[in-house]
Amino acid sequence: MRRHLIVGNWKMNKTASEAVAFIRDVRERMPASPHADVVIAPPFTALESARNALGPSSWIGLGAQNIHWETHGAFTGEVSAPMLRELGCRYVIVGHSERRTLFGERDEAIQKKVQAALKHGLSPILCVGESLTDREAGRTESVVTAQISNSLTGLTRGDLANVTIAYEPVWAIGTGRAATTEQAVTVHRLIRLFVEAGWNRETASAIRILYGGSVTPQNVESLLASDAIDGALVGGACLNPDSFATILRLAQIPRA
C-alpha cells in the first residue's frame, strides 16, 4: 500500500535561521519518525541551513519549490536541478498554481521541469487543479487531466514511479475553504483512472496523489481516511511547528 506523504510547502516564508529554529521545534515535538514520509520545501535561501539542521539521516526529507529545466547558463534568477541535488533535495514541487497564475508558467515549461527533475534524480511533485470558474462550469475533469497529460507526456512507467501528483484546487488554496473529502476523492479517483489509461494499472495503483488546499489539523484526518488520498501538500498550516507536528501525528493512520 502507498505510504502517506506529507509535504510542507513554505512558499516565500522563513529566513535560514527561522528554518533552523522551526526544524528544532518540530523535532522536539516529534522525536521519532512518523509512519508517513515527510518533506519540507523551504525557500532556496534556507535549503542549505535546513539540510545542515536536519543532518544526514533525518526522517524529514528536503524539497524545493521550483526549478529551471536547464542545468546551467544565462537564466538570471533561476536554479537548476543539479544545484538542488547538491544541496540535499530529493523532491521538487513543479507547476504550483501560484507559479502558473502569478508567474505565467504554462504546461510546456512544466513538462520540461518534470523531465529535468527526473533526469537529475529529483522526484517531481506535479501540482494540478481547477479554478472556481472551471469547477462551476463543470470543467474540473478536463482541466486536471489536460494538465497531467501535457506535463507527463512522454514519461515511461519507470519515470512515473518517481512522480507524485498533488491535486490542489485553486479555489481551496489559502482560502480556508478546503475541498470536502468527497470532492477531493472524486478528483483523485479520476486522476488515478487517467494514469491507468495512459500508462497501466500497476503504475496507477503505485502513484501517490496528494491533496492540497487549506489542509489543517482539523481536516487532515478526514481527508487521509480515504484510500484515494495518499497525503497532503500543506501551505499555511505547515509554517507553525505545533500545527505541522499535529498534522504529522494525525497522518499516522495505518493503511490497509
168 in active site: yes
Q: Nearest approach, Cβ of 26 to ligand 13P (angstroms)?
A: 17
Any contact of residue 50 with ligand 13P (CB under 6 A)?
no
Whose cell is 519540507? That residue is 40
Residue with Cβ nearer ligand 13P (9 or 123): 9
DSSP string, 175-200: SS-PPPHHHHHHHHHHHHHHHHHHS-
| Contact pick of 114, 187, 209, 234 for ligand 13P (by CB under 6 A) | 234
Q: Which of 4, 68, 96, 188 is catalytic?
A: 96
| Contact pick of 85, 131, 236, 249 for ligand 13P (by CB under 6 A) | 236
Q: For residue 166, which of 115, 130, 208 has the smallest C-alpha distance?
A: 208
Q: What is the CA radius of gyration of the chain?
A: 17
Any contact of residue 215 with ligand 13P (CB under 6 A)?
yes
Tally the C-alpha atoms within 13 A of residue 19's C-alpha that lie toward its C-beta. Answer: 26
CA 89 vs CA 28, 42, 78, 197: distances in Å: 23, 10, 16, 31
Any contact of residue 214 with ligand 13P (CB under 6 A)?
yes
Residue with Cβ nearer ligand 13P (226 or 240): 240
Residue with Cβ nearer ligand 13P (96 or 135): 96
Residue with Cβ nearer ligand 13P (148 or 204): 148
How do 60-64 and 123-128 pair as beta strands? Answer: unpaired
DSSP string, 101-167: HHS---HHHHHHHHHHHHHTTPEEEEEE---HHHHHTT-HHHHHHHHHHHHHTT--HHHHTT-EEEE
Residue with Cβ nearer ligand 13P (34 or 169): 169
3-state class percentages of the chain: helix first, strand second, coil last, to nearest 5: 45, 15, 40
Q: Nearest approach, Cβ of 65 to ligand 13P (angstroms)?
A: 9
Any contact of residue 198 with ligand 13P (CB under 6 A)?
no
| Contact pick of 213, 217, 231, 241 for ligand 13P (by CB under 6 A) | 213
| Contact pick of 107, 134, 168, 230 for ligand 13P (by CB under 6 A) | 168
4 in active site: no
Return residues touching ligand 13P (CB under 6 A).
9, 96, 168, 173-174, 212-215, 233-237
> So which residues are the catalytic ones?
96, 168
